[in-house]
Structure 1
Amino acid sequence: MEKIKVFAPATVANVTCGFDVLGFAVNAPGDIIELQKADHNEVRILSITGDNGRLPKDAEKNTASVVIKAFLEAIGSKQGIDIHLEKQMPLGSGMGSSAASSAAAAFAINKLMGEPMSMKEALPFAMEGERIACGAAHADNVAPALLGGFVLIRSYDPLDVIKIKTPEHLYSTIVHPHIEVNTKDARNILRGQVPLDKAVKQWGNVGGLIAGLLQSDYEMISNSMEDTIIEPIRSILIPGYDVAKAAALKNNALGFGISGSGPSMFTLSQNEKTAKKIGESMRDAYKQLGIGSDVYTSKVNDEGPIILYSE
């Protein structure tokens, strides 16, 4: 194989009660990367589209190229790689933009080099892209982007990720209001200590959510989608949070939460019709506030990255 083109999906991290330890992938939006073997021995970014010129083409600073360089070094290869990156999702949206690029890069270079690693073995390299993007190698976006489905990050040291079985008819709706939330602000606003009673309730919700997913118990999923620690604080950074949440729950959402650090928000529901109705209601809620928004509706993506083209 000399050339490959890959799509990797957007993701929802935290999933209400699972701050930094839970995430899931969706079908759209996502990022596309094209890699081609080259005669030189460098990793080069030839083009980036869809980013409005915001992303660096320096191979030492771009998430995708950093992943590829680390991967090639690990397998002892000096293969030259030319990269074309297509950003198909908004930056800083809370939908795992950097994770999608990192996952696409890890998946593509592994395929291009003859699959020397499993996807779980390739995950630490994808996490290096996250480190470049946000200063910390979090896995709650990049793990589901690479592995697909719901993923639990049980431990970072040592790294231990667990893919959780997803109910067949579970749908996600994501609304991305046209506002900005600084990720650093969203993390700095959090408290360093948590009251024990709130922590205990949060642990119960995480366990309940995972049990609900494994048992396809939608009532348990709904009852567990409550964040007693993070969202009560972060929601104040998102204009329209309360009206969007009210609209979603009124239209039979199983639960509602902030996607990553925001400003995007997500819901889960039992079928496509409900998911689309929820999306329309949240878009209308923001329209009444004079704020535009994008809505994405899909099943939970259990596959992760896919090959669009190879030769």
Structure 2
Amino acid sequence: MAKVLKGVQVFAPATVANLVCGFDVLGMALQQPQDVMTMRLREEPGIGISHADGYDLPVEPEKNVAGASLLALLEEYPEKAGFEIIIDKKIKPGSGLGSSAASSAGAVVGANYLLGNPFTKEDLVRFAMNGEKVASGVKHADNIAPCIYGGVTLIQSIFPLNIVQLTAPPMYVTVVHPQIEVRTSDARQILRKEVQLKAAIKQWGNIAGLVAGFLKNDYDLIGRSLEDVIIEPVRSILIPGFDDVKKKSKDAGALGGGISGSGPSIFMLSKEEYVAKGVEDVMIDVYTRLGIEFKTYVTMVNYEGAKVQVIS
């Protein structure tokens, strides 16, 4: 058994990818829920992974999203290093809340701290994208970037990687997670490969409007821009109760919202806390009547991203 040295706990937040119209380019970090990862340096090279949850995820580094991300980091680290990592997942895999991204991002954020912070945040996103490839077969950063940077992020380009941090006004986020699983790889396979120019133009306008709304603290513009004419009409058929939740949440005062990532979670943004809690009541009512088990969160935007706490 390799001797372990100093350690940290990493709190890696859930994230909402796409933000309705921004497929694969926009993402937002949430204050809750968060994965908790305990990491230690060890004297011998290698990566040891164990789990403190009941999800029975792989422990082989190349098959585990955190392990794959750490392997990518170690390839660019000039010295030999090793880590022991215990993952306690509070973000259920397949929830649409960036579960794989939290493990991937949290692992490289913790490793970077233990090594003396030799890498930039952009480097860490690049490493963690290897974990997303293990999870979904595709390197995407719309969950990874907000998990590492915090707040709202725009992925202007993947190759080369170009991340833009966006300012955003205070917002409450209400999430319902129906206890069904929608695999990201499956949700990608059902998407159309081509879109009509008319739909693309409308989508571009919504993305630009949403970004402008964030930058200008314009809640009305944010609400008007939370519309997806390309992805949501296809993916929403995988989520029972989606249309009902969306309509009734907006009737209750939400700015708008939609599918979180590839689903099945649904998120709604609100300006005031009482509206966000009213939206939670709507979600509870819809899924109680459907007879589908669910979990809800009323939280806010997390502007900090993955957080490191030193342990003895």
Alpha-carbon distance in 2 for matches of 1:292, 1:37: 40
> CA contact under 8 A between 1:99 and 1:142: conserved in structure 2?
yes
Q: Do the aligned residues in 2 keep the contact of 1:30 with 1:97 (CA within 8 Å)?
A: no
2:186 corresponding residue in structure 1: 185
Counterpart CA distance in 2 for 1:185 and 1:125 is 24
Q: CA deviation at 1:182?
A: 3.0
Report the alpha carbon displacement of residue 40 of structure 1 after superposing the two structures with TM: 2.1
The CA deviation at 1:32 is 1.2
Partner secondary structure for residue 124 of structure 2: helix
CA distance in 1, matches of 2:18, 2:28: 9
What's the secondary structure of 1:198's corresponding residue?
Answer: helix
- The CA distance in 2 between the partners of 1:166 and 1:186, in whole Å, is 28
Separation in 2, partners of 1:13, 1:304? 14
Shift of 1:310: 3.1
Report how far residue 122 of structure 1 moved: 1.6
How far the C-alpha of 1:175 sits from its partner, in A, is 0.7
Task: Report the CA distance between 1:140 and its aligned residue.
Answer: 0.5
Specify the code of the residue in structure 2 equivalent to 1:184. S
**What corresponds to 2:140 in structure 1?**
138
Task: Tell me the residue number matched to 1:303.
Answer: 304
Shift of 1:282: 0.6
Structure 2 gaps of 5+ residues are none
- Once the two structures are TM-superposed, the CA of residue 83 in structure 1 deviates from its matched residue by 1.0
Q: Distance in 1 between matches of 2:72 and 2:199?
A: 40
Q: Which residue of 2 aligns with 1:265?
A: 266
How far does residue 37 in structure 1 lie from its aligned partner after superposition?
1.5
Measured in 2, the distance between the counterparts of 1:184 and 1:75 equals 31
Q: Letter of the 1:35 partner, please give it.
A: M
| 1:85 paired residue number | 87
TM-score, normalised relative to structure 1: 0.96
Tell me which amino acid in the other structure corresponds to 1:52.
Y
1:220, CA displacement in angstroms?
0.2
**Cα distance between partner residues in 2 of 1:310 and 1:124:** 27
Q: Tell me, yes or no, if structure 1 residue 36 matches structure 2 residue 9.
A: no
2:185 and 2:82 map into 1 onto residues whose CA distance is: 35
Q: 2:81 aligned with 1:48, yes or no? A: no
CA distance in 1, matches of 2:45, 2:188: 39
Aligned to 1:4: 8
Greater CA drift, 222-231 or 183-192: 183-192
Q: What residue is the counterpart of 1:64 in the other structure?
A: 66
C-alpha deviations, 1:21-52, integer Å up to 9, x for none? 1110001112111111223221111x212243
> Which residue does the alignment assign to 2:129?
127
Aligned mates of 1:148, 1:246 — CA distance in 2? 29
Distance of 2:10 and 2:87 partners within structure 1: 10
Cα distance in structure 2, aligned partners of 1:215 and 1:141:
23
Provide the residue aligned with 1:100 in structure 2.
102
SS in 1 for 2:62: coil
- Is the Cα contact below 8 Å between 2:125 and 2:148 reproduced in 1? yes
Where 1:69 maps in the other structure, the secondary structure is helix
Compare 179-188 and 195-204 and name the one that shifted more.
179-188
The answer on whether the counterparts of 1:21 and 1:152 sit within 8 Å (CA) in structure 2 is: yes
CA contact (8 A) 2:175 2:297 kept: yes
Letter in 1 for 2:142: D
Q: Percent identity?
A: 47
Residue 214 (structure 1) aligns with = 215
Q: Quote the offset at 1:192 in angstroms.
A: 1.1
In structure 2, give the amino acid aligned to 1:40. Answer: E
For this pair of structures, how many residues does the alignment match? 308
